[in-house]
Amino acid sequence: MRGIRIFSLFSVVLFSLTVLNAQNDGAMLYAHGNVTLNGQAVESSTSIFTGDRLDTADSSVVTINRSGSSIVVNPNSSIQYGQSSIEIMRGTARLSTLAGMSAQAGQLTITPKAGTAKFDVVRSDNGTSVTTREGALTLRDGSRTMTLEPGTTTLFASSNGKEEVSILPTERITTLNSALKPDIPVCEKVSLCFGIGDASEHHPCHCRPPQ
């Protein structure tokens, strides 16, 4: 009987620690389409924890919600989830944060300057594009630090294995953003496009470049 009581107490403690860890470290993932988490298919929703790798296929999108932050991952993208940041290995992710959540893309670190921001990161073999919708961002690539003001975009274009910063005219940035995005269709509704090179959070698509 005593052994059963000890085992029961141990189970309660273990369960409490698991719940506490989930509250502090985990988040909820909501999948639409062909999505895998650490190589395993996700049907609709599940928890995601630090170190987990997420991959989306064609016409698939994921929303990750945690206290103070949300992340939308577009089709044909790969990210690794972290406690206070995400690493974007391929594709497109949008972060909305009130808690200073940051993003990593190769050598580039993107951090909300005042803790609150909404921004997009697009990473491909051609480089990394960063657009801030709300709130200024601090960008660091190991040797340089720059500030990206709200409503602007910058492109870290790869050249000879190195990433070089280019601040481009609006129409040129839009064209490059579309080229960097995964192979997804153009948004049929103009209302889905809220800014330069935008992609709908709920209907995977990208905005048409200006003619």
pLDDT-derived band at 16 (thresholds 50, 70, 90) equals very low
Give the pLDDT of residue 39: 96
Q: Domain 2-192, what fold?
A: Jelly Rolls (2.60.120)
Question: What pLDDT is attached to residue 56?
Answer: 96
Closest by alpha carbon to 30, among 17, 40, 44? 44
- Predicted pLDDT of residue 171: 37
Whole-number Cα distances in Å, 75 to 62, 85, 91, 190: 8, 20, 7, 20
Q: In this structure, are residues 105 and 158 in contact, taking their beta carbons and an 8 Å threshold? A: no
Which range is most confident: 109-118, 134-143, 153-162, 170-179? 109-118
Local structure of 157: helix, strand or coil:
strand
CB 30 within 8 Å of CB 63: yes
Return the pLDDT at 19: 42
**CA dist., res. 150 & res. 2, Å (int):** 63
- For 34-93, the pLDDT digits (tens) are 999 999 999 899 999 999 999 999 989 999 999 999 999 999 999 999 989 999 999 999
Strands 162-166 and 153-159: antiparallel
For residue 188, pLDDT beyond 90 = no
The pLDDT score that the predictor gives to residue 172 is 39
- Please compute the mean of the pLDDT values over residues 138-156 and round it to a whole number: 86
- Name residue 118's beta-bridge partners: 96, 134
**Which pLDDT band holds residue 196 (cuts at 50, 70, 90)?**
very low
Is the pLDDT at 193 greater than 80, yes or no?
no
Band (pLDDT 50/70/90 cuts) for residue 184 is low
Pairing between strand 85-97 and 102-105? parallel
Task: Report domain extents, the chain.
Answer: 2-192
72-75 long-range contacts (CB < 8 A, ≥24 apart) are 72/201, 74/181, 74/182, 74/184, 74/199, 74/204, 75/33, 75/182, 75/184, 75/204
Q: 121 falls in which pLDDT band (50, 70, 90)?
A: very high
| Residue 125 pLDDT class (50, 70, 90 cuts) | confident
What's the rounded mean pLDDT across residues 123-148?
Answer: 88
Strand-strand pairing, 27-32 and 78-81: unpaired
CA distance 39 to 60: 15
3-state secondary structure at position 98: coil
| Res 17: pLDDT | 41
pTM of the model: 0.68
Between these two residues, 105 and 15, which has the higher pLDDT value? 105
